[in-house]
Amino acid sequence: MISSVTKILGAMLTAPIRRRRSPADTPPAGREHYEPPSLAESPGASTLKAVDIPVAKTPAQGWVGSDWPAPVLTGCDEPIIDGAPDLRGVWRVEKGPLKGHVERVEQAGNRVVITAGGVIHDMFVDGTLQGGVNDVSEAGTQISVAARFENGRHNLYPGNKRVVAVTRYLDGDEMVWRWGPWRNRLRRLDAPAN
């Protein structure tokens, strides 16, 4: 457990150095990544609920480059729960130590799927470790993280401890993403580059 936490902290602290040494992330190529599904007006009116779609996991060797995995919540029309920010879309860090990072956020009901950096973090935002992220970090270590919506923010708690390690929230047209000690501002991308 201690070595796992040390690896995760080391990955967080050295992320800006790795980012400066590598090219900016390549945004996904297909339109399907940029057009979130339309949501039903009420949970009762939805035809495909988030719980009915299997939870996605990071592939054994991760994924790299522009070969992004297909969206997980395709066809899911369950409305986002009250109190949750609508973070759906493809985002790029425009300001902050992780400038150039690209991530895709999918949402439906109380479910959030964040795809970026070779990992797929698929979670139910219910405050439990069972429903949270149970996968690997970008550093390749096993993680178990609880997720909660609090005060219009999507917060992640490793091991369901009291300290928020990652948070995302909207600030006007931008998303603010704090990952460990690093605060980044992201802009939503509207379409593939080509």
- CATH value at residue 29: 2.40.128.20
Note whether residue 159 is domain-resident.
Answer: yes
Instruction: Give the integer Cα–Cα distance in Å for 113 and 55.
Output: 9
Q: Please give the C-alpha separations between residue 174 and each of 16, 93, 105, in angstroms, as whole numbers.
A: 20, 10, 13
Note whether residue 166 is domain-resident.
Answer: yes
Note whether residue 168 is domain-resident.
Answer: yes
The string of DSSP letters for 168-191 reads EEEETTEEEEEETTEEEEEEEE-S
Note whether residue 152 is domain-resident.
Answer: yes
Structural domain of residue 37, as residue ranges?
2-189
pLDDT of 17-33, one tens digit each? 454 445 568 899 999 99
The tally of domains found in the chain comes to: 1
The secondary structure of 43-73, three-state, reads: HHHCCCCHHHCCCCCCCCCCCCCCCCCCCCC
Q: Is the pTM of this model over 0.85?
A: yes
Instruction: Give the integer Cα–Cα distance in Å for 43 and 49.
Output: 8
Note whether residue 104 is domain-resident.
Answer: yes
Note whether residue 128 is domain-resident.
Answer: yes
Note whether residue 194 is domain-resident.
Answer: no
pLDDT of 99-144, one tens digit each? 999 999 999 999 999 999 899 999 999 999 999 999 998 878 899 9
